[in-house]
């Protein structure tokens, strides 16, 4: 269900939103935004003023809690790295919290302790 969600995101928001409960809540903590209800989630995403593409890098979880790591491009520009937490209730997403960040170049001073992640699909902040 989650993989199908990402397959349709940015192209068919009605199909992409089939996994949300009617009373789902979507939150973006960095912007302090909360969207209540599947209809509002669909409306917001359908009205997005630019082309949005998604690359789902990893989905892990079990039971009612799933974590998605993915990359978002707005109008094909630089990637934004995303972690989304989906909480399910009765087989539908009841609550989702999405964290978005931009990748950065690591500072040279710590090179002796780290290895580059350039070979992974979504290189970004250490974690």
Averaged pLDDT for residues 70-84: 93
pLDDT at residue 122 tops 50: no
> Residue 117 — pLDDT band, cuts 50, 70, 90?
confident
State the distance between the two ends of the chain, measured CA to CA, in whole angstroms.
Answer: 27
Residues with Cβ within 8 Å of residue 37, at least 6 apart in sequence: 22, 23, 24
User: Rounded to 5 degrees, what are φ and ψ at 22?
Assistant: -55, -40
Q: Which of helix, strand or coil describes residue 7?
A: helix
Cβ 2 vs Cβ 86: under 8 Å:
yes
Q: Out of 3.90.1750.10, 3.10.450.50, 3.20.20.70, 1.10.10.10, select the CATH number for domain 2-113.
A: 3.10.450.50
Percent of the chain at pLDDT above 90? 79
Would you say 8 and 15 are in contact if contact means Cβ atoms under 8 Å apart? Answer: yes
């Amino acid at each position: 269900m989650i993989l199908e969600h990402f397959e349709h995101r940015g192209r068919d928001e009605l199909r992409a939103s089939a996994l949300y409960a009617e009373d789902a809540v979507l939150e973006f903590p960095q912007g302090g935004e909360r969207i209540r209800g599947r209809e509002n989630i669909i409306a917001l995403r359908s009205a997005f003023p630019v082309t949005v593409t998604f690359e789902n890098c990893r989905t892990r979880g079990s039971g009612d809690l799933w974590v998605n790591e993915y990359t978002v491009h707005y109008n094909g520009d630089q990637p934004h790295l995303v972690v989304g937490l989906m909480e399910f209730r009765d087989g539908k997403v009841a609550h989702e919290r999405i964290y978005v960040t931009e990748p950065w170049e690591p500072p040279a001073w710590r090179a002796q302790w780290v290895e580059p992640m350039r070979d992974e699909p979504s290189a970004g902040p250490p974690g």
